[in-house]
Structure formats: C-alpha cells, structure tokens
Amino acid sequence: MTPRPSDIAEQRGKLIKLLENAMDLAEDLAEGKTAYLIERALDEARSQQFRPRR
C-alpha cells in the first residue's frame, strides 16, 4: 500500500521534531560531533529531496 502524501508529511514532521529535540540535548551536553550529525540529518529531513526509506 502506497502511503498518502498527508501521511508522509505527518511522518516527516514527527521526524523533524524528534531530531530537533535530539539537537537540543546534544547541545546541552556539549556533544559537538553528535550535534553536527543531527544537524545534517535535520537538513536532509527538511529538504525537498527527502525520500523516506521503506
């Protein structure tokens, strides 16, 4: 079954929120390398090129 565009948008929103929370934690813990990797993942999730894996 192919997911509906609204389902994909909802899932992307959840992923972005989760990554934003993870970024806040990494910054609070002064985990620079981890924050950098999370930031890259956020950039990817926010981009128009994002394609969820199945």
Sign of CA dihedral 36, 43, 7, 25: positive
Residues comprising the chain, all counted: 54
In tens, the pLDDT along 10-54 reads 898 999 999 999 999 999 999 999 999 999 999 998 986 656 665
Residue written as tokens 């128009």?
Answer: 48
Count of domains observed in the chain:
1
Amino acid, res. 28 = D
In the three-class reduction of DSSP (H, G, I as helix; E, B as strand; rest coil), residue 2 is classed as coil
43-54 tens-digit pLDDT: 998 986 656 665
Is 12 within the bounds of a domain?
Answer: yes
Q: What residues make up the domain containing 35?
A: 5-46
Q: Residue 17's closest CA among 53, 51, 41?
A: 41
Structure pTM?
A: 0.76
- Residue 35 included in any domain: yes
